[in-house]
Structure 1
Amino acid sequence: MDTSSVAAARPAGPFSDLLVIDLTHVLNGPFGTNILADLGARVIKVEQPGHGDDTRLYGPFVNGQSLYFSFVNRGKESIVLDLKADADRKVFLNIVRKADVLAENFRPGTMQRLGFSYEALSAINPRLIYASSSGFGQTGPMASYPAYDTIVQAMSGILDATGFPDGPPTRVGTSLSDLCGGVFMFSGIASALYDRQKTGKGAHVDVAMFDATLAFLEHGFMSYVATGRAPGRIGNRHPYMAPFDVFEARDRQFVICCGNDSLFQKLCHAVARPELATDARFADNLGRMENSAALKAELERTLRGQDASHWLQVIHEAGVPVGPLLDIAEAAALPQTAARNMVIEAGGVRMPGNPIKISTYADPAVRPGAPSLDEHGASLRHEFAAVTAVPDCAGR
């Protein structure tokens, strides 16, 4: 497929005038650049010779496509470049000269060894936004430390804080650190682009998965600041509000969230247990937190008498936040999911949609799929073939 065909298929969006060089791989970086592509940017994914992005080899596979790769690389163009070979370096630098953004998630020092540091590339394109996302960032004693999502979850404290008090530390059920890093990479790029409108100058965006995960700890960090100790694992309940937990009905579990005394009183009347609202143990949130186990036992003694569907209806009608406990298949099938266009098709594969809805742009239910390896290599080499008199970053 040539690049003009890709341009025709690319959705319109606020970043439609941007050219992005995507040197990222696996999940962290591609997730951030995928947001740019979803919002209209032209994203050229530069892949290494051989098999390209490692995730092209990761399952699960549908019709020979890696979903791991497809989910975060839709709508991008692919070119294979050997960044150590002179001819490919010249093509790469010609793209750099026209690019608005370069994103990379190599281990710190890799781009510098290739001669493509921020300082070197900004010398030939001062307006370039150069975004680096890594496990621990570009500075500090652990900058060169290798990292995958689970390592960062373990070292940030979130793995230790997840699970039940009598159970082991538990990894969050998604690659949270990778995804947080990708979201903050996107945020940093968008912020630097906004600043460039005022200054005319590019910038280096430095994002660490560790920093991103630490920033998401919130409640756990509050407890640490307040007590000086790491909080223990508390399962599904809220650390500061009760009842705010998963509860057992006759047939399945569901969730009730009471964030204040008024909601608790409404809940007690909805489940026909008005005496709980006047019980001295549960009269205010502090008391309910101190007696959370007893309160849960009292509520479940009643809740186990009816199916969850009954309680979902009566508690919702009482104005108390309540929701079913769904698996992924059930969540994907919700009418709300369809109404928000959160399951789309890209390249013949169903995948999560774009959560950013902007009133002035369409949110297509069908989007361009992920590219095959070097699918656009020939047309991109032709487009960026002209070599200027400026030497490359290694002085060649």
Structure 2
Amino acid sequence: MIDATAHSPVLDAWEEVDAAHGSLAGVVVVDVTRVVAGPYCSMILADLGATVIKVENPDDPDYTRTFPPLLPREGAEPLSGFFAQYNRNKLGMTLNLKSPDSADVLDRLVARADVLVENFRPGTMDRLGHGYERLRQVNPRLVYAALSGYGQSGPYRSRPAYDNSAQATGGLWSMNGPAGGPPTRVGTIIGDLAASLYGVIGVLAALRHVERTGEGQFVDVSQQDSVLTLTENAVVSYTAESKVPEPLGNAHPFVRPYELFPCRDGYVFFGGYTDKFWRISCETFGSAADWDAHPDLHTMATRFDGDVYREQVRPMIERWFAHRTKAELEALAGDLVPLSAVKDIGEVVEDPQIAARDMIVEAQYPGHGALRTFGSPIKLDRTPPRTGGLAPETGQHTTDVLRDLLGFTADEVDALRSGGTV
């Protein structure tokens, strides 16, 4: 890690974005990723205070720069809200990794860096001459994180992959969807996001190892692996009982009640399945008679029985909720039982709890105006994440990084530009 008190001018200027240095201040990350699995990983590190240098091909930058929503700007390319959301707090430089002269630039970056993150298909960086085994000779302390569809080993390692590939091959797709219906993808890029989060965990663990031993290492994260760990009890259900989970809609495999219920103006999640919560629910939403008249439902084991649940428990809950709104049910539930309104994203963005947790943050992009994105769920009382930074324009800081951080002269920078290397 570099000395946070002795940075080059470009690093000093960057850290002045936030007066309070984050927990990872002094950590330099070279980010050669694109799309989401990778950019989100490095963005989290940037939020936590690391200096992240996003490296893009000058002729083929991250194509999510064209993804909607697009914020127009007169006389310039529109800004992608999608790109901005996953690339805030980064420095931006261009480097064509296919150029013969790129090795000198990347080597100088790696020599100054603590971490490199890439999400190419396995073998790509080796073919470009920038693989881990060579770069670790440049910097033995380097933490090299590679995020890919299927990982660096195994028969699938060379297959192209997207988020849906991971959902399909990790088991999640087969479990999701309406009961009795076809498999349904999870409605977000959960494979990309999970791999990014595991990438952060792997990088932090590897950095701790560097602190103790001075030895860097290779961090291998697979989207398929990451999705598999999100399948709850599916693996042990199969290995212990030979059960293959199928789509259950909004129901849980065995916990009941623990699902979606209709109400007067929409839907709520209700999870009053424990004996304590069931008694309180009867008294809160129904009446004392609902509890007293059904002593056979007082035990959780009985309520978990599929037939009992379908014939007695669920009809009772539907009766409780049918004439009440989401707001009325949430007000009744309060701090007593787990009940939550099912909110669309507009309701979530305006939710008072989300506001209290600073989970919607705003950044001012010159010429574009304000852009609101999600904040950081990591709350640190001494070194809070910085979430108000901007995503860089393509190559915005190339000259600064080359000159101030890497020591290239003005003539050398010009030569790299004219040769198409940066």
TM-score by length of 1: 0.92
Query: Matches of 1:102 and 1:124 in 2, distance apart?
Result: 12
Aligned equivalent of 1:106: 120
Q: RMSD across aligned C-alpha pairs, in angstroms?
A: 2.0
How far off its partner does 1:285 sit? Answer: 2.3
Residues 164/280 of structure 1: CA separation in 2 closer, same or farther (3 Å cut): farther
Separation in structure 2 between the aligned mates of residue 364 and residue 136 of structure 1, nearest angstrom: 32
Q: 2:342 aligned to 325, 328, 331, which one?
A: 325
Find the residue that maps to 1:86 and give its secondary structure: coil
- 1:3, 1:379 within 8 Å by CA — same for their partners in 2? no
Equivalent residue in structure 2 for 1:9, among 9, 13, 17: 17
How far did 1:312 drift?
2.0
Mapped to 2, the partners of 1:54 and 1:307 lie a distance apart of 43
Identity across matched positions, percent: 35
Counterpart of 2:394?
Answer: 373
In 1, distance between residues paired with 2:16 and 2:301? 59
Say which SS state the counterpart of residue 219 (structure 2) adopts. Answer: strand
User: Retained in 1: the 8 A contact 2:22–2:386?
Assistant: no
Residue 118 of structure 1: how far off its partner (Å): 1.3
Equivalent position of 2:5 in the other structure: none
Q: Which amino acid aligns with 1:359?
A: D
SS in 1 for 2:334: helix
Q: Provide the residue aligned with 1:390 in structure 2.
A: none
Stretches of 4+ aligned residues off by more than 6 angstroms: none
Q: Is the counterpart of residue 272 in structure 1 residue 272 in structure 2? A: no
Q: Which residue of 2 aligns with 1:289?
A: 304
* Residue aligning to 2:33: 24
1:350 is aligned to 372
SS in structure 2 at match of 1:305: coil
Q: Which moved more, 1:12-21 or 1:232-241?
A: 232-241
AA matched with 2:286: A
Query: How many Å apart are 1:340 and its aligned residue?
Result: 0.9
Kindly provide the amino acid, as one letter, of the partner of residue 16 in structure 2.
A
Instruction: Using structure 2 for the length normalisation, give the TM-score.
Output: 0.86
* Paired letter, 1:375: Q
CA contact (8 A) 1:107 1:134 kept: yes
The SS at the match of 1:240 is: coil
Is the 2:48–2:384 Cα contact (8 Å) retained in structure 1?
Answer: no
| Cα distance in 2 between the residues matched to 1:45 and 1:137 | 22
What SS does the corresponding residue of 2:52 show, helix, strand or coil? strand
Cα distance in 1 between the residues matched to 2:393 and 2:116: 21
The unaligned stretches of length 5 or more in structure 2 are: 1-8, 73-77, 410-422
2:44 aligned with 1:35, yes or no? yes
| Aligned twin of 2:415 | none
Contact 1:27 1:178 in 2 (8 A): yes
Q: Per the alignment, in what secondary structure is the counterpart of residue 244 of structure 2?
A: coil
For 1:221 and 1:275, how far apart are their aligned partners in 2?
Answer: 41
Residue 115 (structure 1) aligned to one of 117, 125, 129: 129
Partner of 2:376, secondary structure, is coil
State the SS of the aligned residue for 2:395. Answer: coil
Matched-pair contact (CA < 8 Å) for 2:48–2:385: no
- Is the contact between residue 58 and residue 395 of structure 2 (CA under 8 Å) also seen in structure 1? no
Per the alignment, residue 394 of structure 1 pairs with none
AA at the equivalent of 2:230: F
- Alignment match, 1:308: 326
Quote the offset at 1:309 in angstroms.
2.6
The equivalent of 2:417 in structure 1 is none
The answer (yes or no) to whether the contact 1:241–1:258 under 8 Å persists in 2 is no
Amino acid at match of 1:322: L
Structure 2 letter corresponding to 1:9: V
Are the aligned partners of 1:91 and 1:385 in contact in 2 as well (CA < 8 Å)? no
SS at 1:43 equivalent: strand
The answer to whether the Cα contact below 8 Å between 2:49 and 2:385 also exists between their aligned partners in 1 is: no
Distance verdict in 2 for CA 1:379–1:286, change over 3 Å: same
Give per-residue Cα distances to partners, 1:263-291, cap 9 Å, x unaligned. Answer: 11111111224455463653322321222
**Structure 2 counterpart of 1:360, from 352, 371, 382:** 382
User: Does residue 129 of the first structure (1) align with residue 143 of the second (2)?
Assistant: yes
Three-state SS of the structure 1 residue aligned to 2:16 is helix
Q: Which amino acid counterpart does residue 179 of structure 2 have in structure 1?
A: P
Whole-angstrom distance in 1 between the partners of 2:383 and 2:41: 20
Listed one character per residue, the Cα deviations across residues 314-369 of structure 1 (whole Å, up to 9, x for unaligned) are 2336x11111111111011111111111111234311000111111024556x221
Residue equivalent to 2:201:
187
C-alpha distance in 2 between matches for 1:48 and 1:364: 27
Partner of 1:243: 257
Any gaps of 5 or more consecutive residues in structure 1? 388-396
Alpha-carbon distance in 2 for matches of 1:154, 1:56 = 27
Q: Secondary structure at the match of 1:323?
A: strand
In structure 1, how many angstroms separate the alpha carbons of the residues matched to 2:10 and 2:265?
55
Q: For residue 4 of structure 1, report the CA deviation from its aligned partner.
A: 4.9
